[in-house]
Amino acid sequence: MNAPREEISLSLRRRLEEAQAAYQRATTEYRRLTSISAATEHPEDPGLVDGTFALRQAMRLHRHARLKYERALKEFTDFILSGKMPPGPQA
């Protein structure tokens, strides 16, 4: 493997590992909030409004992290298996 290919491979692997770690953190938080939400016995509880907001935000963050992880996995796999260059930098 030549140097530029190795550099791209390492960069994609780092991006994949970072995305996977973010996805795992988001999954943990989502599961934590889901279990708290499921344990709430009184839906009329005023604290539920904040809990609902937190759960919805956790759901959005979880979805975003999952999509970012899927994209990083696809880019890494495409590059390793077929040499397809990844698109430009993405947030």
Counting the structural domains of the chain, the total is 1
Note down the domain range covering 22: 3-82
Compute the C-alpha angle 73/78/83, nearest 5°.
Answer: 140
pLDDT in tens, 21-46: 999 999 999 998 888 766 665 555 55
pLDDT of residue 83 exceeding 90? yes
Q: How confident is the model at residue 61 (pLDDT cuts 50, 70, 90)?
A: very high
Q: Is residue 34 part of a domain?
A: yes
Q: Is residue 89 part of a domain?
A: no
Compute the C-alpha angle 41/47/51, nearest 5°.
Answer: 85
Query: Which pLDDT does position 91 carry in this prediction?
Result: 43
Residues in Cβ contact with 58 at an 8 Å cutoff, skipping those fewer than 6 apart = 26, 29, 30, 33
Q: Is residue 88 part of a domain?
A: no
pLDDT of residue 89 exceeding 50? yes
Compute the C-alpha angle 65/71/76, nearest 5°.
Answer: 125
Q: Is residue 16 part of a domain?
A: yes
In whole angstroms, give the CA distance from residue 91 to residue 5: 22
Q: What does pTM read for this prediction?
A: 0.77
Section 50-76 average pLDDT:
91
pLDDT of residue 12 exceeding 60? yes
Q: Is residue 76 part of a domain?
A: yes
